[in-house]
Structure 1
C-alpha cells in the first residue's frame, strides 16, 4: 500500500463511528471511507456462529466479517490521500492495526448504548437477550484487549456531542497531515545526493503533496 493517512475509528456499537466518518468525508478532500458493516459475510449461516437459544447468529465477533476482502479493498484504493475505516471490531484485525496511522476508539456506558441500540432496526431482527448476553460482553472483551495491546489508541466518549468528537478527530488528522508535507530550502547539492534525497521523499509523499522548491530546481539544472 502506498503511503496515505489511514484513520481507524472503532469502538462501541451506536457510539457515533459512522457519523464521525461521514462528517470527516465532507470536511477533507480526497477521502475514501470504508464501513466494516459492509463486509459482513452474506452467507451468514456458513460463517457466523449460531446461538441456538436465541435462534440467531453472533454478529459481534470478528469472524462475522470478511476481513480479507476489507483489507484487500483498502489496499487497492488509489488516488486518495485520506482513508477512513470505521467499525466495532476493526482493531481486532492485526493487519488493520499495522497499517493504521491513527487509531480512535469510542467508549460509552451500557445504559446509553442500550437506549440508542433499542431504537435501531436490524435485519434480521435482533432478539431479546442478544445485547445483554452477546453484543455488550463482546464490546467489553474487545475494549480490554485494545487497552492491553494498543498504547497509541485515542479514546473518545460516545456520550459527548458529535460535534465535539468530530472536532477532536479533525484536529488530530490535520496535525498528522501536516507531517506529510516537507519544505526544502534551496541549497547546492551534488546530483547523486539530490537524487537519493528526492527518491526517499517520493516514496513517502504523493505528487500533489511534494513541494518542489530548491531541490527540484537543483535537480533540473545540475
Structure 2
C-alpha cells in the first residue's frame, strides 16, 4: 500500500491472548480521534454451515479464516477509507484494525500501512487463555489440538511477507508501545506529529 495517503491504517495481529487488544486500547488513548475495528465482531454465528466442525473435540474450528466474514470486514474498512476522504477534520484519520488473522486475508492486509504481529509461547498463551471466557466455550483439548496448531499454521502463511513487524507478546508493554510508536511516526502522514513517550 502507498504511504502517501491522507489516512493511516494500522494492523495489529498475532497469537490469541498475546496482548493485541490491550495494545490497541493503549494506542487509542494516545490517538483519541482514531477509529477501531475488531476482527472478533466478524465471526460467523454458531451453527453456520460454513464453519468446520472437528469431531475430535466436538466443536467448530473458530481459528480458521473461514470462520469469519472477511468480505464484510473489508467492505467496512473501505467504507471507512471513503468516509475519511470526505472528512472535514484537520486531523489525519487513523484506523486501528485488530484481529488474529487479519494479515491472512490479502485484501485486508494490503489496506494496512503498518502491520504488527504479536507472538507468544505455549505456556503463557495457554495460561492466559484459560482465564478467558469464550462463547461458545472452549471444550477440553481445544487449545492443544486446535488453537495452538492453527496459530502456527496461520503464522506460517505470513512468512514470505517482509513488511510485518513481529513483537513478543511477553515483552513489557511500555517497550512494545515505544517500538510501535517509533515505527508509526515514520509514515509520511504522521511525521509532523510529536513523538509521544
TM-score, normalised relative to structure 1: 0.76
TM-fit CA distance, 1:146: 1.1
Matched, 1:50 2:91: no
Q: Which residue of 2 aligns with 1:34?
A: 37
Q: Which residue of 2 aligns with 1:168?
A: 179
TM-fit CA distance, 1:171: 2.1
Q: In 2, distance between residues paired with 1:162 and 1:99?
A: 26
TM-fit CA distance, 1:45: 3.0
Q: Which residue of 2 aligns with 1:134?
A: 146
Q: Unpaired runs of 5+ in structure 2?
A: 85-91
Q: Which residue of 2 aligns with 1:90?
A: 102
CA contact (8 A) 2:15 2:118 kept: yes
Q: Which residue of 1 aligns with 2:93?
A: 81
Q: Relative CO higher for 1 or 2, CA cutoff 8 Å, sep ≥ 6?
A: 2
CA contact (8 A) 1:44 1:64 kept: no
**Which of 16, 21, 24 lines up with 2:24 in the alignment?**
21
Q: Which residue of 2 aligns with 1:150?
A: 161
Q: Which residue of 1 aligns with 2:189?
A: 180
Which of structures 1 and 2 has the bigger CA Rg? 1
TM-score, normalised relative to structure 2: 0.85
The verdict on how the C-alpha distance between 1:99 and 1:55 changes in structure 2, with shifts beyond 3 A counting, is same
CA contact (8 A) 2:118 2:169 kept: yes
Q: Which residue of 1 aligns with 2:87?
A: none
Q: Unpaired runs of 5+ in structure 1?
A: 184-208, 210-222
Deviation string, structure 1 residues 106-125 (Cα, Å, up to 9, x no partner): 11111111011111111111
Deviation string, structure 1 residues 156-201 (Cα, Å, up to 9, x no partner): 000012222122112211232xx12799xxxxxxxxxxxxxxxxxx
The verdict on how the C-alpha distance between 1:169 and 1:182 changes in structure 2, with shifts beyond 3 A counting, is closer
Other structure's SS at 1:37 match: helix
**Which of 103, 108, 122 lines up with 2:134 in the alignment?**
122
Q: How many residues align?
A: 181
1:61-76 paired onto structure 2 within 5 Å:
61-76=64-79
TM-fit CA distance, 1:29: 4.1
